């Protein structure tokens, strides 16, 4: 079945610095790679996604890069702000999603 490894499990960065979270996967059939943000006590919410025919996608301070050959994709958050503190999940799939184990990101003011 699908397997997604997500690193690091925890990440602390100074406000204003960049944060990078990486996921590797084994299922080469996956074509959809979303990232979800989950604040404490809330539901996961999509922040950005990418499909396999695209190598990079950017939305303001957030970007995702995909390397299908190496089977890894990464989330990049620039100019981090305190409200970026949350748990971030990567996922892979087509019809259904398999989620990574999550990264707890803490922004230090």
Partner 1 sequence: DAGVIQSPRHEVTEMGQEVTLRCKPISGHDYLFWYRQTMMRGLELLIYFNNNVPIDDSGMPEDRFSAKMPNASFSTLKIQPSEPRDSAVYFCASRSDRTEQFFGPGTRLTVL
Report the length, in residues, of the chain: 109
Determine, following the binding rule CB under 8 A, whether residue 78 of this chain makes contact with partner 1. Answer: no
Scanning 12-20, 54-62, 71-79, 91-99 for contacts with partner 1 by CB under 8 A, the matching segment is: 91-99
Taking the complex as a whole, how short is the minimal distance between the CB of residue 69 and partner 1, in angstroms? 26
Q: Other C-beta atoms within 10 Å of 49: how many?
A: 15
Strands (E), 16-102: 19-25, 32-38, 45-51, 56-59, 62-67, 72-77, 86-93, 97-99
Q: Which of 34, 73, 84, 107 binds partner 1 (CB under 8 A)?
A: 34
Residues near partner 1 (CB under 8 A) = 34, 42-46, 49, 89, 95-102
């Amino acid at each position: 079945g699908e397997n997604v490894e997500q690193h690091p499990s925890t990440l602390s960065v100074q406000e204003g610095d960049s944060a990078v979270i990486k996921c590797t996967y084994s299922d080469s059939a996956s074509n959809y790679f979303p990232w979800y943000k989950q604040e404490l006590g809330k539901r996961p919410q999509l922040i950005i996604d990418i499909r396999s025919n695209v190598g990079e996608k950017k939305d303001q301070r957030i970007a995702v890069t995909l390397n299908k050959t190496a089977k890894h994709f990464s989330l990049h958050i620039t100019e981090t702000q305190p409200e970026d503190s949350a748990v971030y999940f990567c996922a892979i799939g087509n019809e259904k999603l398999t989620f990574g184990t999550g990264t707890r990101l803490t922004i230090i003011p």
